[in-house]
């Protein structure tokens, strides 16, 4: 219902209640240093929070319902600058410059179908920071390359692999890497 609660699991108590969204919050994430937190929702906004006092830093209108959000580093940018990504409605990942509140890159929209597709989850791989794994609502899994220099690809993030889904119900899924 648009509310995010932050819990201290050691003390077993709620330390913050964030209720600035007007619709369901589906994506939450901390940045790499832990000093910022983002919440994204179906109200088409992402809100950046300061984790020291849980005050709102800024609200970014992302122009699509958010199902997943997080932070990434991109090639060709300042080495210490993290970018915000949002994913969800329209089956597109958008990457935002938080400082300027501008869109810096996006994935290609998939082929038009009669089915309304959306990205239901974005998996960030700890061992491979140069890609995101997208889970699409039709159970398709897509690898998105975020290691590209944005100036050379016209701000389009390329899809490197697509694994077709089964259009059935999947209760759980794990991504496994075989080390040879």
Give the pLDDT of residue 125. 84
Structure token digits, residue 173: 């899924």
Distances (CA, A) of 172 to 71, 101, 175: 24, 35, 11
Q: Name all domains of the chain by residue range, CATH numbers in brackets.
A: 4-119 (2.130.10.10)
C-beta of residue 103 within 8 angstroms of C-beta of residue 96:
yes
What's the first-to-final CA gap in the chain, in angstroms? 46
What strands, in cross-sheet order, belong to the sheet with 25-30? Answer: 25-30, 36-41, 45-50, 55-61
Q: pTM of this prediction?
A: 0.83
Give the pLDDT of residue 155. 81
Tell me how far apart the alpha carbons of residues 142 and 119 are, in angstroms, rounded to a whole number.
Answer: 10
Write the CB contacts of 178 (distance below 8 Å, at least 6 apart in sequence): none
pLDDT tens string for the chain (180 positions)?
Answer: 889 999 999 999 999 999 999 999 999 999 999 999 999 999 999 999 999 999 999 999 999 999 999 999 876 555 567 899 999 998 899 999 988 888 988 888 776 676 788 888 998 888 888 889 998 888 888 888 888 666 655 688 888 888 876 656 666 667 676 676
Give the pLDDT of residue 105. 87
SS3 content of the chain, % helix, strand, coil (to 5): 0, 50, 50
Distance of CA 12 to the CA centre of its chain: 28
Give the pLDDT of residue 147. 80
């Amino acid at each position: 219902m648009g509310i995010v609660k932050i819990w201290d699991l050691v003390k077993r108590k709620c330390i913050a209640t964030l209720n600035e969204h007007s619709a369901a919050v589906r994506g939450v994430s901390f940045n790499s240093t832990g000093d910022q937190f983002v919440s994204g929702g179906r109200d088409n906004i992402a809100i950046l929070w300061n984790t020291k006092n849980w005050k709102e830093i800024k609200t970014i209108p992302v122009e699509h319902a958010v199902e997943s959000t997080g932070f990434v580093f991109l090639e060709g940018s300042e080495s210490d600058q993290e970018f915000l990504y949002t994913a969800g409605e329209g089956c597109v990942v958008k990457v935002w410059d938080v400082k300027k509140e501008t869109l810096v890159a996006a994935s290609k929209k998939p082929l038009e179908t009669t089915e309304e597709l959306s990205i239901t989850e974005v998996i960030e791989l700890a061992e491979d920071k140069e890609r995101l794994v997208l889970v699409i609502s039709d159970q398709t899994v897509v690898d998105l390359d975020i290691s590209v220099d944005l100036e050379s690809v016209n701000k389009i993030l390329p899809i490197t692999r697509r694994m077709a889904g089964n259009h059935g119900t999947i209760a759980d899924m794990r991504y496994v890497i075989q080390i040879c």
